[in-house]
Each structure stands twice: as structure tokens, then as C-alpha cells.
Amino acid sequence: MFTLHRYINQSESRWDQFVLSGNNGTLFHLRKFLNYHPKDRFQDHSILIEKKQNLFSVLPAAELIVDGKRILVSHPGSTVGSFVVPENLSIADAMSMSEALVTYVKENNFSGIRITLPPTLYQRRLSNYMDFSFFKQGFTYSKRDVTSILFLEDSLDKNLAKFKSSHLRAVRNAQEKGVNVRQSNDFDSFYHILEQNLKIRHGVSPTHTLAELKNIHALFPDRVNLFAAFVKDVMVAGVVNFVVNDHVVLAFYISHDEAYQEFRAVNLLFYSIFDWAIQQGFRIYDFGTFTVNEEPNMGLGRFKENFGASGIFRDTIELKLN
């Protein structure tokens, strides 16, 4: 029923048009996003799935060598992956497509498959058909992260009603101390804060280089933005948002200058971001994960909960063939 073809560059426009119309397509599924990576960083092995010679689904993917075995991975240069599917996906098509993927992988001599699933709420029409179908093929959980999701109401006041009193006081405190929040294109200043913060707290570097982050913003000026907090024109905190699709915004980077902690700028940042997101008609704000290797950062989780957020799974599944 389904025919699987390896992606070629000539299919880029067709691919991206499909992602934009799909039930669960995201910024991270777009070829325009995936192609920002240097060509030698990943060995792309993305797949187009056709039904009766019409494009039915796409799967961003790459080849990786894991423990000496060649694995097909839903694209490692993307936050989430898996199939982009039509809104009216049937259980029969889901079952057939997952079976066809396993057959394709075996025929192409892969030793396994690893897929990072988008959170269910990224879909326009909620469905677990693909999850069910993967598990019927023998997939198991490789990793279960938890991401903090906030449902956006139709007014800022309704969202403020979800804030814990401590966060409301922090917002007022920042306003009284003269913290100013605005959108900014000064990614250099933000990146300096981010680098220092990650080094102090976790001993790691940002996922993207400064040049890559600027490039992504240049590619998607309407879908990647920086909200920054200033004290006397000095940037003291910032949040880089990725507009995932037409109803979800993801906080990809959140960081602040420890020297200005007393100004509680991050709280005011999110207050302002929620106001913007509600005015733009978004329905979900994803604060991002607060788990590392399935261990929760309790303080970070609590910080997000105090805005009214709660946790849902961001799962990685795998199938080992040999």
C-alpha cells in the first residue's frame, strides 16, 4: 500500500508544503530548518512515503553508528521528529505505514530505528494511532522526558490567575525596579549570558553556536524571536522562542545573568511573552523539558509549575532489529 523513497534535494518544496499542511508538522520537520546544519554533520536519510503515487507522509531521519551498529534515527539535528501525517489519518494507514517503515529499514540493512515523538499536544487533531502502531511493531521506550506545557487562555488576566502568588510578586517586583522587556535582535548579548549561565550551572555549551542561532533566526524571522529583559539598557535575561506550528510556541533557550537575580527579570519576561502569544492566537506555550536522562530538576519543574504549567511526555522510542 505504501511506497517509501529516500529524500532527494529536488523534493524540498514538496516536502515543506506537506509539513505545513500536516496534522503534526512542526518547524523542526521542515527541510528549510534541517538544511541549516553543515552538510558533513549528519548523513541524511529522510524518507518520503507515498500512497497511490501521492505524498502521504514524510519522516526526517539520518544514519548514525551506535555501538558499532547502523541505526536510522528521526533526525538528530531536530528537537522532535517522527512521521508527519494527515489530519484524517486512519488506524489502518498508521498500522500499514509503521509496518512499511520496518520493512524498509530491514531491506536497507539498518540494525534499528530510533524516533523522538513530538508531544501529543503539538497535533491539531489529537491521535495516538502512530504511537500504537509503533508499539505493535515491537518498539519500546528508549527515553521518556517531561516537558512543561502551559495552556494559553484568551486573555492575559486569565493566565495570571494561574500564577502562584510568589510569581505574581516577582512580576510586580521586576516592574517596580524598572525592568524593561522587549523583542530584540541582539543575539550576541543574549548568547554571552547563555554561555556563562550554562557553564556555571551545568558545565555545558549551548546546543547551537552563535552563528547557527543567528542563521536560524535569519531563515525564520517570523518563527524565531528573542524576548529580552533590560536594566538601564543592559540585557540581563532573555528567552529565545521557536514558533513550532500554528498553535504552539516553544521556549528553546531561557537564561539570565546571575548578577541581576534580584531583579526577577525572567518572571517579567514570561509575563510579557504570554501577553504576546495570546495576542498572536497561540494556544500552548511549551517551556521545554526539565528532565535530564529521566532525572527531574525539581527546582526548574517547580518554577514552571508556578506559572500554571504541567508536564507531558516527550518520548523517544526504538526498535532493535539485531
If you average pLDDT over residues 143-170, what whole number do you get?
Answer: 96
pLDDT tens-digit map of 250-297: 999 999 999 999 999 999 999 999 999 999 999 999 999 999 888 999
How high does pLDDT run on average in the chain?
A: 95
pLDDT digit string (tens) for 27-58? 999 999 998 877 778 899 999 999 999 999 99
DSSP bridge partners of 44: 62
Average pLDDT value for residue range 182-200: 92
Please state, in angstroms and rounded to a whole number, the distance separating the CA atoms of residues 214 and 250.
Answer: 17
The yes-or-no verdict on residue 318 having pLDDT over 90 is yes
Domain residue ranges in the chain: 2-145+315-320, 153-282
Q: Can you say whether the dihedral through the CA atoms of 260, 263, 266, 272 is positive or negative?
A: negative
Q: Could you tell me the CA-to-CA distances from 129 to 74, 121, 230 in Å, in that order?
A: 18, 14, 46
Tell which CATH classification among 3.40.50.720, 3.40.630.30, 3.50.50.60, 3.40.50.300 matches the domain 2-145+315-320: 3.40.630.30
Q: What percent of the chain has pLDDT over 70?
A: 99
- What does pTM read for this prediction? 0.95
CATH of region 153-282: 3.40.630.30
Lowest mean pLDDT across 36-40, 94-98, 136-140: 36-40
Distance, CA of 216 to CA of 185 (rounded, Å): 12
pLDDT of residue 202: 66
d(CA 41, CA 18) in angstroms, rounded, equals 25
> Does the fold of domain 153-282 match that of domain 2-145+315-320?
yes
